[in-house]
Amino acid sequence: MQGVEYKIERAIKSRAAGSLLFPDDFADKGSADSIRKALQGLKDKGFIKVVAHGIYVRPKMNSYIGELLPTAEEVAQAIAKRDKIRLVPTGAYSLHALGLSTQIPLKLVFLTDGAARIIKVGKRTIKLKKTTPKNLLAKGKISSLVIQALREIGRDKVRPVELKQIIQLLKKEDLQLLKHDIKLAPEWIKQIMKKAIDG
């Protein structure tokens, strides 16, 4: 048992502090059961922390505020990378990601082509909602967020100040990606997005 724990500890030390760790990362170090026990042992020693179920981290240290744990956003992206799935932020989180809302949502909702699930990260929740491939075809980072943000705001509810902000954001998007993504949007969102090209 000690052997597996020692090997995993060395492997973790070779990574940058703050890196998210999954049991699968250490599949070559022992059996699933011995890896689980080793990670539990390292957690009990205080060497690593549990971020969410089955996800660990060796925290970064900050001289002013102490331990820096990964954000829920970083956890979501790490899960996407590990599972080779796509994530598209939706709802209040898409508004926050674009800077249209200053409120940090406690629940992050993503559309995904992976399995639907809920992951708790401290006081925050990551919800992955299974969706059709069509909803994940948008290629532009800004334009895909805009489509979801406008869906959240609702038709005929976009205030002039938000409209101006959205058009300014879309002007920063790669033109080819923007043209591609406009075709995927509902008609009323298309009309708003086109203003970033025409205006």
CATH number for the domain including 11? 1.10.10.10
| 27-59 burial code (b ≥16 CB/10 A, e <16) | eebbeeebbeebbebbeeeebbbebbeebbbbb
Name the 3-class secondary structure at 190: helix
Token pair, residue 115, equals: 């399995």
Contact 65, 71 (CB under 8 A): no
Q: Which of 66, 91, 111 is the last residue of a domain?
A: 66
pLDDT reading at 199 higher than 80: no
Give the pLDDT of residue 1. Answer: 47
Nearest to 142 by CA among 75, 195, 97: 97
Range of the domain at 8: 2-66
pTM score over 0.75: yes
pLDDT digits (tens, 9 = 90+) for 32-59: 999 999 999 999 999 999 999 999 999 9
pLDDT reading at 89 higher than 60: yes
Under the banding of pLDDT at 50, 70 and 90, the label for residue 104 is confident
Q: Which of 66, 84, 113 is the last residue of a domain?
A: 66
CA distance 43 to 193: 48
Is 53 domain-assigned? Answer: yes
Tell me the mean pLDDT in the region 101-118. 95
CA distance 71 to 38: 25
Give the pLDDT of residue 109. Answer: 96
Q: Which helix (H) or strand (E) holds 144?
A: helix 141-153
Is 28 domain-assigned? Answer: yes
Is 146 domain-assigned? Answer: yes
Summary mean pLDDT of the chain: 95
As for how many domains the chain has, the answer is 2
| Residues sharing a CB contact under 8 Å with residue 87, sequence separation 6 or more, in sequence order | 76, 77, 80, 110, 111, 112, 128
Is 99 domain-assigned? Answer: no
Is 114 domain-assigned? Answer: no
Is 119 domain-assigned? Answer: no
Q: Which of 49, 66, 83 is the last residue of a domain?
A: 66
Is 195 domain-assigned? Answer: yes
pLDDT reading at 198 higher than 90: no
Is 121 domain-assigned? Answer: no
Please classify residue 70 by burial: count the beta carbons closer than 10 Å to its beta carbon, then call 0-12 exposed, 13-18 middle and 19+ buried.
Answer: buried
